Amino acid sequence: MLRALRSFAGIPWTAWTVLAVVVALIATASPMRRPPPLSEISITDIALYRAITASVQAGGDYYDIALSEQRAHGYPTRPAVTVREPTEAWLLAALRIDWLRRAVLIVLALFSVLLVHLALRRDGIGPATRVAGTILSTSGLVFLLNPAAPYLHEVWAGFFTMGAIAAWRPNHYASTVALALAACLFRETSAPVLLIMGTFALAERRWREAGTWCAAIVIFGLTIGLHLWFASHRSVPTDGLSPGWLAVGGWNFILATTKKNIVLSLLPRVWLGAVVALSLIGFAMTRGPWERRLGAVVLAYAGLFCFFGQPYNDYWGFLYAPLLPLGLAFAPRLLTSLLATPTRGLIMKLKM
């Protein structure tokens, strides 16, 4: 019995916690309740963002256009957070043609995958894990084959987040801060990355880095404040009101978001659940400073998606879909930890 317990000693408490939470979520999973219909939405989100981009490209004011288009097609405009930040529309309008927009997004995605590969090699990770991690990180690229990819704010934010975390190094964090801030300017739901990275810097007493993250948080706070101010001052009392995003979708909504990685979406539901659970546990087995930041971001998004997101918000999964399969590269450490003590005991006996 004592030997069996020792075999679990190498497993960190974070992995046990994640395992317990995942088991609890699976055991209590129930179908998500759909909220009452907002109104008669006449076009898809992609069509809405295309129309906004086309009007901005023609020289219109973003906020006037965005609220006008959302009203015209039955989308709510209250509260102000229902209006997307203007960064994507301004960028796509400046690029002007679709093939160039897709090319820029593809370059960003490939750059992020390259940074992941370099981070895995720099962190002293074994060759098998490094190769597996690099291959798994490319799974998020498949969606770029979809012509609609440049029009989803979460896709841009997800690859900026991927690049930001992979670019981090001790005492070399300027590019990480810049990329993470860019992710937030495309989608405000990337803000947890700023908070997590800043918290790690504080915990590790990297004071200059912590100050830089605080400055990034202030910059983001000012920009999102201005955005909300502009959006709220163009709304009227008769505008549609969003029902909110607190839905407590639990495990079912987490699985729905993970399907935004197209490779994962091809799996049957039972296999998808097993792969996602294994991936999350893999992130909890991370060791080095870069790995721990990576794991914290993915686990934080999975935790948030337990509570926030209506069924039709599953596209939020693009925020962490490029990163999610990376957990599978770290998952074998769980088996290694379980076998470490029994194997060591067997070797000692053979030597005797």
85 found inside a domain = yes
Other C-beta atoms lying within 10 Å of the C-beta of residue 155: 28
**Buried (b) or exposed (e) across 302-326, using 16+ Cβ within 10 A?**
bebbbebbbeebbbbbbbbbbbbbb
Long-range CB contacts for residues 158-161, cutoff 8 Å, separation at least 24: 158/183, 158/318, 158/319, 158/320, 158/321, 158/322, 158/323, 159/105, 159/108, 159/109, 159/112, 159/322, 160/108, 160/112, 160/186, 160/190, 161/190, 161/193, 161/297, 161/319, 161/320, 161/323
Residue entry with tokens 């395992």: 19
Other C-beta atoms lying within 10 Å of the C-beta of residue 8: 13
31 found inside a domain = no
Instruction: Give pTM, 2 decimals.
Output: 0.89
* Cis check: omega of the bond before 342, within 30 degrees of 0: no
Angle of helix 62-72 relative to helix 45-57, nearest 10 degrees, comes to: 140
153 found inside a domain = yes
Contacts of 223 (CB under 8 A, 6+ apart): 85, 185
DSSP 114-174: HHHHHHHHHTT--HHHHHHHHHHHGGGGGGGGSTTGGG-HHHHHHHHHHHHHHH-BTTB-H
203 found inside a domain = yes
The model's pLDDT over 247-259, given as tens digits with 9 standing for 90+, comes to: 888 989 999 999 9
The separation between the first and the last C-alpha atoms of the chain, rounded to the nearest angstrom, is 22
277 found inside a domain = yes
The per-residue pLDDT string of the chain (352 residues; one tens digit each, 9 = 90 and over) reads: 434 434 444 566 666 677 677 777 676 666 656 555 555 677 889 999 999 999 999 999 999 999 999 999 989 999 999 999 999 999 999 999 999 999 999 999 999 999 998 888 887 777 777 788 888 888 888 889 889 999 999 999 999 999 999 999 988 899 999 999 999 999 999 999 999 999 999 999 999 999 999 999 999 999 999 999 999 999 888 888 888 888 888 989 999 999 998 888 888 888 898 889 888 988 888 888 888 999 999 999 999 999 999 888 999 999 998 898 888 888 777 666 655 544 444 344 434 4
- Per the structure, the count of domains in the chain is 1
Helix (H) or strand (E) holding 310: none
350 found inside a domain = no
Angle of helix 153-167 relative to helix 98-122, nearest 10 degrees, comes to: 30
The model's pLDDT over 77-101, given as tens digits with 9 standing for 90+, comes to: 999 999 999 999 999 999 999 999 9
349 found inside a domain = no
Q: Containing domain of residue 107, as a range?
A: 40-338
321 found inside a domain = yes
The model's pLDDT over 247-290, given as tens digits with 9 standing for 90+, comes to: 888 989 999 999 998 888 888 888 898 889 888 988 888 888 88
